[in-house]
Amino acid sequence: MTELTLRLYPLPEAVRAATCSFASVDAAVQTAMLLIQLGVPLARCELLDAQAVRAVNARDRLGLRQSPMLLMEFHGSPSGVAEQVETAEAVASEQGGEGFDWADTPEQRSRLWAARHHAYLSALLMRPGCRCVTTDTCVPISRLADNINASIQEVEAAGLPYFIVGHVGDGNFHLGYLIDPNSPAEREVAERLSEQMVRRALNMGGTCTGEHGIGLHKQSFLVEEAGESSVDLMRRLKSVFDPHGILNPGKIFS
């Protein structure tokens, strides 16, 4: 890039972050889905499962309830934010959500968001020396709970240690398999589960990658998702911008 044009947006007048705990991942995801379907303009909505919460508690002594948790943020005018918060509490309560924790100042918000920001590294520490194989499927928001529930059943049945963090407001979530890098068997199980997740996401009208990208590993999934002729179109479009193939060569498609 040699030039960028930016559009400036004003900072929101009021910002409020909130955490809420649930008895199950399903209840947390149902809450997020309902809020989005009600049109609540969630500025951020992140999920941590019980394993992720346990991991950040262990590392940062956050003292959070060790159960699935939603982290939400609301932006707007003071009364608009108050209204969103009220709706969020009502919907979460119907799903059994409890232990609301609200934060209005930047310092308080940073403390709440630390749980999300430190989840990945904290989870790695739960199995010292492990390697994390991270999934990245994304489905229409109406299928998100089905997708996460099925993924949990599969990984529980396989017996691999794992954790979940999710940008649930986008229909996107990451399941991290914590595998022993010296165990080809564990690696194989993680790859098989990951492949099942991609197939399920595609069957639900979703995508094989929500944000991490195709890179090298998902090139065949991209073909499954978009079809040969679409991928060929992408290849030809890229070559208009990159006739000599010097921009990130070999990635996305060969």
Residues that bind its own copies (CB under 8 A): 5, 9-10, 12-13, 37-39, 76-77, 79-80, 83, 205, 233, 236-237, 240-241
What is the 8-class DSSP label of residue 138? B
By C-beta, is 5 or 254 nearer to its own copies?
5
By C-beta, is 9 or 228 nearer to its own copies?
9
**Strand partners for 101:** 19
By C-beta, is 6 or 185 nearer to its own copies?
6
Question: Taking the complex as a whole, how short is the minimal distance between the CB of residue 85 and its own copies, in angstroms?
Answer: 12
Question: Taking the complex as a whole, how short is the minimal distance between the CB of residue 182 and its own copies, in angstroms?
Answer: 44
Question: Taking the complex as a whole, how short is the minimal distance between the CB of residue 69 and its own copies, in angstroms?
Answer: 26
By C-beta, is 106 or 227 nearer to its own copies?
227
Q: Residues 130, 137: contact at Cβ < 8 Å?
A: no
By C-beta, is 79 or 183 nearer to its own copies?
79
What is the 8-class DSSP label of residue 211? S
Tell me how far apart the alpha carbons of residues 96 and 113 are, in angstroms, rounded to a whole number.
Answer: 22
Tell me how far apart the alpha carbons of residues 114 and 56 are, in angstroms, rounded to a whole number.
Answer: 8
Question: Taking the complex as a whole, how short is the minimal distance between the CB of residue 36 and its own copies, in angstroms?
Answer: 9
By C-beta, is 12 or 213 nearer to its own copies?
12
**Strand partners for 162:** 177
Question: Taking the complex as a whole, how short is the minimal distance between the CB of residue 138 and its own copies, in angstroms?
Answer: 13
Rounded to the nearest 5°, which phi and psi values hold at 159?
A: 80, 15
Tell me how far apart the alpha carbons of residues 127 and 189 are, in angstroms, rounded to a whole number.
Answer: 17
Question: Taking the complex as a whole, how short is the minimal distance between the CB of residue 170 and its own copies, in angstroms?
Answer: 12
